[in-house]
């Protein structure tokens, strides 16, 4: 797990916004290559890594999908010495002022998100949080040079450095969903010494934050027998009264929804109980708003399960995760995979 944590800290130090995941894909590929038998990228840029099973051919397969893309900003206008911005994915603008960023222009430019003085804002913006369309990015460059280097449409990523917090927790940007990529990596590490009958497709998908597009196309291309999405969910934090939030270090949350396969829920829960891994049941009355929604309707339909890692302050540059929850999620994935015998698919029915 120490090696996986080292990878995670590297991954959350890299850009990789939706539609521009290449720098991160290369780093994940380097970590997965020694753990898998084949590795490639899809036409959309999702990473596909195959770890072959030991069962008789043709083998059933399971796709474990973790999206690698992140939210961020995009240049919407260049005004004198400042940049106006819009969002890629959903960004909580309340926490942006003062945040360090990296503008991916003709060369990478460090910058900071700033807001005008209150008396210079429209009256409706003078009290309370300032909306995104009033915020600016300052790179420190003079207007002429800024105009030369930066174009409308250039991406802007968060550059807040990661931070080790007390209690084996980690703070940083893009833990949604690179924490899940780390859990899948830990799963692959465990599978190096455990036999599994099924083929395993480890997928780091693109463009989840803007519509789940990478996972949907990967599922159609790979045609797995089963699918599992691994994502983050809301951890209990200040002012969270919703009972459907989960404490840090409480283990993975197992999704229960009309779009998730009940038999897979029962099997994943049984695996958690065998390993004495704490878990929660996450109730969703419709869509899960994760890659699982698209996996289960890909091609002819794929039985799908969702496992989520509790995360505080989601969609901010200071997300917080417990490393123990990542480790437990990786162990749970490996245990579930190893318990799939060659004929398991015949016993997985919706009525179970």
The Cβ-side half-sphere exposure at 246, using a 13 Å CA radius, reads 25
Neighbours of 242 (CB within 10 A): 8
Lowest mean pLDDT across 55-59, 98-102, 208-212, 348-352: 348-352
Q: Which residues are annotated as a binding site for Zn(2+)?
A: 67, 176, 209, 231, 315
Q: What would be the CATH architecture of the domain defined by 72-158?
A: Beta Barrel (2.40)
Distance CA 351, CA 263 (A): 8
Task: Report which of 50, 45, 43 is spatially closest to residue 64, judged by C-alpha positions.
Answer: 50
Instruction: Point out the catalytic residue in the list 26, 79, 168, 208.
Output: 208
Q: 217-264 pLDDT, tens per residue?
A: 999 999 999 999 999 999 988 877 677 799 999 999 999 999 999 999
3-state secondary structure of 62: strand
Q: Which residues contact 234 (CB under 8 A, 6 or more apart)?
A: 240, 242, 244, 245, 246, 310, 311, 314
- Whether 72-158 and 2-70+173-347 are alike in CATH topology: the answer is no
Q: β-strand 108-114 against 100-104: which pairing, if any?
A: antiparallel
Token duo for residue 209? 């934050």
Task: For 321, list phi and psi in degrees, rounded to 5.
Answer: -135, 150
Average pLDDT of the residues in 199-212 = 96
Domain map of the chain by residue range? 2-70+173-347, 72-158
Task: Report which of 190, 76, 204, 90 is spatially closest to residue 134, judged by C-alpha positions.
Answer: 76
Q: Which residues contact 336 (CB under 8 A, 6 or more apart)?
A: 228, 267, 268, 271
Q: What would be the CATH architecture of the domain defined by 2-70+173-347?
A: 3-Layer(aba) Sandwich (3.40)
Distance CA 153, CA 180 (A): 29
Q: 98-128 pLDDT, tens per residue?
A: 999 999 999 999 999 998 876 666 766 667 6
Q: 12-28 pLDDT, tens per residue?
A: 999 999 999 999 999 99
Q: What is the pTM of this model?
A: 0.94
Q: Is 208 a catalytic residue?
A: yes
Q: What is the 3-state secondary structure (H, E, C) of 68-99?
A: CCECEEEEEEEECCEEEEEEECCCCHHHCCCC
């Amino acid at each position: 797990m120490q090696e996986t944590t080292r990878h995670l800290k590297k991954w959350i130090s890299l850009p990789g916004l939706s539609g521009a995941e290449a720098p991160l894909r290369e780093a994940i590929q380097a970590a997965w290559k020694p753990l898998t038998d084949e590795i490639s990228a899809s036409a959309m840029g999702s990473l596909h890594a195959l770890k072959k099973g030991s069962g008789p051919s043709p083998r059933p397969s399971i796709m474990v999908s973790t999206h690698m893309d992140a939210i961020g900003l995009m240049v919407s206008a260049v005004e004198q010495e400042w940049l106006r911005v819009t969002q890629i994915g959903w960004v909580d603008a309340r926490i942006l002022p003062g945040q360090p960023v990296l503008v991916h222009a003709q060369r990478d430019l460090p910058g900071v998100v700033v807001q005008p003085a209150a008396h210079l804002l429209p009256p409706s913006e003078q009290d309370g949080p300032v909306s995104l369309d009033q915020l600016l990015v300052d790179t420190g460059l003079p207007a002429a040079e800024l105009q030369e280097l930066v174009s409308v449409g250039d991406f802007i990523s968060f550059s807040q450095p990661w931070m080790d917090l007390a209690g084996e927790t980690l703070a940083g940007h893009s833990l949604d969903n690179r924490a899940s990529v780390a859990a899948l990596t830990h799963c692959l590490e465990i599978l190096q010494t455990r036999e599994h009958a099924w083929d395993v497709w480890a997928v780091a998908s693109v463009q989840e934050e803007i519509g789940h597009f990478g996972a949907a196309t990967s599922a159609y291309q790979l045609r797995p027998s089963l699918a599992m999405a691994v994502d983050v969910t809301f951890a209990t934090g200040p002012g969270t009264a919703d009972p459907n939030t989960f404490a840090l270090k409480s283990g993975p949350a197992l999704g229960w929804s009309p779009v998730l396969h009940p038999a897979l829920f029962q099997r994943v829960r049984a695996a958690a109980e065998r390993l004495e891994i704490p878990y929660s049941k996450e109730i969703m009355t419709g869509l899960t708003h994760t890659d699982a929604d698209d996996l289960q309707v890909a091609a002819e339909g794929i039985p799908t399960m969702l496992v989520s890692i509790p995360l505080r302050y989601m969609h901010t540059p200071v997300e917080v995760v417990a490393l123990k929850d990542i480790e437990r999620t990786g162990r749970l994935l490996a245990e579930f995979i190893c318990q799939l015998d060659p004929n398991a698919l015949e016993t997985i029915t919706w009525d179970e």
